[in-house]
Amino acid sequence: MSLKNFKGKRVLLYFYPKDGTPGCTSEAIEFRDAIKEFEKEDVVILGVSKDSIKSHLKFKQKHELPFTLLSDPEGKVLDLYGVWKKKSLYGRTFLGTERTTFLIDQKGIVEKVYRKVKGHAQACLLDLSHKYTHEAAPE
């Protein structure tokens, strides 16, 4: 699957660390609960993590997620979007996915980037309602 499949539509592409973890679950549920509002704005939601397709299917089913979750086990897309980063937790340093969301316009241009996000579905909807253009989108 490629963003080319969604030409003419806006895409909310969100990267997350792992299916089933508390933060990733609450983020997915937040998008699920706001899906009708995103659909009104003609926005497709896509989630991406390194988890397997099997893991994604279980996660989608358990939480009734109405959007596509993409598997990037080799991290190629994560690297492309610059979300595979050095992280630290409890004094331990490791590489991992930085929770990041990209709002992409109908031509495939990134309109806005949301980094280290938590509880941001409503912020995305607010930005959509203001119809950011590529030139006006704040970082």
Select from 128, 62, 73, 131 the least CA-distant residue to 101. Answer: 128
Could you say which residues of the chain have pLDDT below 70?
Answer: 1, 116, 131-139
**15 DSSP β-pair partners:** 48, 100
Q: Which residues contact 83 (CB under 8 A, 6 or more apart)?
A: 15, 97, 98, 100
Query: For residue 116, which amino acid is it?
Result: K
What span, in angstroms and rounded, lies between the C-alpha atoms of 63 and 92?
A: 31
pLDDT of the residue at 7: 83
Of the residues 12, 13, 24, 65, which is catalytic? 24
Is the Cβ–Cβ distance between 114 and 100 less than 8 Å? Answer: yes
What is the structure's pLDDT at 122?
A: 84
Show the beta-strand stretches assigned E in 1-139.
Answer: 10-15, 43-49, 68-71, 84-89, 92-97, 100-104, 110-115
State residue 63's pLDDT score: 97
- The model scores a pTM over 0.85: yes
Q: Domain 3-129: which CATH class?
A: alpha beta
Residue 124 is among the residues annotated as catalytic for this protein: no
Q: What's the pLDDT at 10?
A: 92
